[in-house]
């Protein structure tokens, strides 16, 4: 195994040689359409150097990097202001899911294209009537000969307008009488570029439209493209969500630190840093982010992650980021140029969604209450 400091030098040197100004700092929450062709090209350069599959086992074409090295990579990537990854859904969610739950044929078909960033993916979970209540999905799939036929609607589907494939949670069996609703769901791999799939962008508060509605009208996918057994999709879907929350959260938090550092610099330029209340809020933001980072590193290094930890981390970072957006508005009120205003307005507006997507904070509190603290299950209609 390569020495960790030598590994850090390797990724730092690679980024210094390959990161160009046309992608530096591009993309991210609320800006996923920014410089997309350039970011895709950069992702393919990353892939050619073996960085996109850093955490994958060597047997599946990865580098088999240790957790420490994965953290180092995300630290250096964020510190260099490298662009938001366009392949993250495929390489961090779909790839590990197929390694653990896919058939050998599915692995042969999809893993090489994922590793090379030749195919992009989106996630077909949320629906208009089933967002955080994922077990309530109503998109249906029926087996017709050697194909599944899908009918239904998904919503808030990030990057569906550029994706080649979607992993879709669909109902393939009726809800059993009196039984749990998560029974009878299947996890299907569906090609996006076909007549039965319609993608409609959703315009956000920021004016951008990086997520979409997706309509399936007798869309088709091969019978062999169900991951796991038919009707067992809930287990596979939950595994995918677990893969999403890994070492990359460290890079996310370094991005938060960069935002905070820039806001402090703005406060100094405008004189807001002399206001004792604003200075105290900036200090509190630094303390809370330090605590979040320490908790994340401790959790990642634990032999067994603490129960409910993904929900705890989601609550912590979303509240922190929304608070930073609100603080930025108060700092801006003391002065700042138009460039400053555009950036911080975008952060403030987009962070309103942080507590909703990826499982709303209300749902996360319910998970902690019921599954960690053992409190009575909340009454549901």
pLDDT in tens, 181-223: 778 999 999 999 999 999 999 988 888 888 899 999 999 999 9
Instruction: Note the helical H segments in 61-116.
Output: 67-79, 88-89, 95-101, 104-116
The whole-angstrom distance between residue 128's C-alpha and the CA centroid of its chain comes to 20
Q: Which of 46-60, 69-83, 123-137 has the lowest mean pLDDT?
A: 123-137
**Both structure tokens of 297:** 């590193």
Contacts 24+ apart (CB under 8 A), 128-134: 128/153, 128/155, 131/155, 131/156, 131/356, 131/360, 132/359, 132/360, 132/362, 132/363, 133/363, 134/169, 134/237
Please state, as a whole number, how many other Cβ atoms lie within 10 Å of the Cβ of residue 77: 23
Mean of pLDDT values over 140-151 = 97
Which residue matches tokens 């629906």?
127
Indicate which residues carry an active-site annotation.
Answer: 244
> Does the structure show a pLDDT above 90 at 361?
no
Q: Are 72 and 80 in contact (CB under 8 A)?
A: no
d(CA 264, CA 208): 27
- Tell me, what's the pLDDT at 1? 55
């Amino acid at each position: 195994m390569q020495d960790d400091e030598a590994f850090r030098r390797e990724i730092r040197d690679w980024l210094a040689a390959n990161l160009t100004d046309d992608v530096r700092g591009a993309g991210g929450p609320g800006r996923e359409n920014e410089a997309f062709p350039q970011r895709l090209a950069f992702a393919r350069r990353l892939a050619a150097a073996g960085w996109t599959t850093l955490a994958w086992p060597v047997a599946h074409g990865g580098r088999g990097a240790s957790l420490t090295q994965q953290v180092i990579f995300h630290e250096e990537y964020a510190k260099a202001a490298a662009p938001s990854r366009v392949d993250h859904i495929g390489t961090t969610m779909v790839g590990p899911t197929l390694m653990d739950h896919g058939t050998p044929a599915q692995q042969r078909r999809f893993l090489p294209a994922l590793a090379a960033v030749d195919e992009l993916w989106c996630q077909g979970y949320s629906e208009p009537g089933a967002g955080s209540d994922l077990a309530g999905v109503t998109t249906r799939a029926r087996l017709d000969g050697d194909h599944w036929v899908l009918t239904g609607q998904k919503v808030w589907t990030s990057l569906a307008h550029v994706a080649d494939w979607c992993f879709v949670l669909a109902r393939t069996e009726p809800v059993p009488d009196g039984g749990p609703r998560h029974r009878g769901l299947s996890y299907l791999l569906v090609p996006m570029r076909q007549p039965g799939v319609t993608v409609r962008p959703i315009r956000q508060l920021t004016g951008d439209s990086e997520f979409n509605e997706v309509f399936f009208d007798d869309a088709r996918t091969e019978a062999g493209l169900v991951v796991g057994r038919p009707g067992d999709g809930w287990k596979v879907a939950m595994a995918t969500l677990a893969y999403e929350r890994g070492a990359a959260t460290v890079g996310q938090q370094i991005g938060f630190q960069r935002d905070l550092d820039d806001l402090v610099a703005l406060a100094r330029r405008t004189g807001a840093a002399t206001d004792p209340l604003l200075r105290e809020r900036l200090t509190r933001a630094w303390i809370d982010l330090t605590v979040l980072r320490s908790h994340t590193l401790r959790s990642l290094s634990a032999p067994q992650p603490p129960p409910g930890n993904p929900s705890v981390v989601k609550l912590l970072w979303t509240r922190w980021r929304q608070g930073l957006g609100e603080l930025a508005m108060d700092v801006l009120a003391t002065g700042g140029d138009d460039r400053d205003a555009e950036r911080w307005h975008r952060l403030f507006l987009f962070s309103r969604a942080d507590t909703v997507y990826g499982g709303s904070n209300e749902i996360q509190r319910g998970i902690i209450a019921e599954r960690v603290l053992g409190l009575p299950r909340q009454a549901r209609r």
